[in-house]
Amino acid sequence: MKTFKLNFLVLVNILLLQSSLLAQIPLSIEAYDTRIKGCILDSAQYLFKYKLSFVSDTLKKDTLINELDLLVGNNYSKFFDDLYLREKFINKYNKLPMGIRQNKDGEGLAATEIYKNNVRKIMTVTVMVRSNPYIYEEKLRNQIWTIGRDKKWKNGYMCQKATTTYLGRKYTAWFTPDIPFSNGPWKFGGLPGLILQVYDSKMQYYFDCIGIQQLKQKIPIVKYNDHYSKTKRKLLNNIIRNLHIHFVQTIQSMLAPNSSIMFDYSGYDEPITISNSTNSNLLNISFPYNPIELE
């Protein structure tokens, strides 16, 4: 519990330092500023592009989209938001300095980066919660799959069906042995071939490969040298959950005496101020939360 409060305090302090003390709500999970120096872990020989269709609000059931990339090298792979590889295009038309991502929508997995170290069997996950970067490491434990007999064509490759249960969801995957990488989107892996399509039983998270490229010019796999807050997976998930479900109470409990923070909320015409004496009518404010990890 002490660690939980410490991480919240760091996050709230950063929020209070935002320009004009105005926090945009819901608390977007912003992506990295790519101007930060990084270390090159490996050189990617292959690039696989995925479209993630996900349901952020189970009541409205509207489908949102992330475009995500998987870079695969000899020892490392990296799964991250496609916007980074399209940065030159963004800069050309928007006239923004390279690396500016202040207004990026971070829903879904847009601000999550996953590094798989196939030598040390370690998975490193980084998530940017507004301007506060978090990082945690876990052993690279592949899912336990049941491989079926069903087959179908996908992206010009013959794929085979496999099923698993992982972090609270039941998944169906289609992998191809013709691409000999035991890898896939997000944290998926462990099959005798690349996963080209995978979705959960409720169709709330659906990864679909939309591009396969053997690179003529290798792309570096970079990990940014940011000032990460080290944490654990479940602890980070709890932080993000509480910022959606109990936002006002969470911020209010961390505020110093006689301090406050303003935020925009779609239900009100004017910015709302949270203080220690915030009107109780505001305490029920919450935001949709349907994470990919349910446990």
Strands 63-73 and 38-55: antiparallel
In this predicted structure, what is the pLDDT of residue 133?
84
Question: Phi and psi (nearest 5°) for 83?
Answer: -60, -30
For the chain, domain boundaries: 1-28+246-287, 31-224
DSSP E strand stretches across 235-288 = 260-263, 272-275
Kindly give the confidence (pLDDT) of every residue in the chain, 295 residues in length, as a single tens digit, with 9 standing for 90 and above: 434 343 444 444 434 333 333 344 444 555 556 666 778 999 999 999 999 999 999 998 889 999 999 999 999 999 998 877 765 444 544 554 444 444 556 678 988 999 999 999 999 999 887 667 899 999 999 999 999 999 999 999 999 999 999 999 999 999 999 999 999 999 999 999 999 999 999 999 999 999 999 999 888 998 887 788 999 999 999 988 888 888 777 777 767 787 877 776 666 677 777 777 766 566 677 788 899 999 9
Domain 31-224 = CATH 1.10.3210: no
The b-or-e profile of 256-272 (16+ CB within 10 A means b, else e) is eeeebbebebeeeeeeb
Question: Phi and psi (nearest 5°) for 255?
Answer: -70, 145
Burial of 159 (0-12, 13-18, 19+ CB in 10 A): buried
In order, the DSSP letters of 17-73 are TSGGGEE-TTT------TTS-EEEEEEEEEEEEEEEEEES-TTT--EEEEEEEEEEE
The model's pTM: 0.83
* CB 93, CB 80: distance < 8 Å: no
In this predicted structure, what is the pLDDT of residue 153?
98
- For residue 41, give the nearest of 229, 183, 275, 224 by alpha carbon: 224
* CB 23, CB 41: distance < 8 Å: no
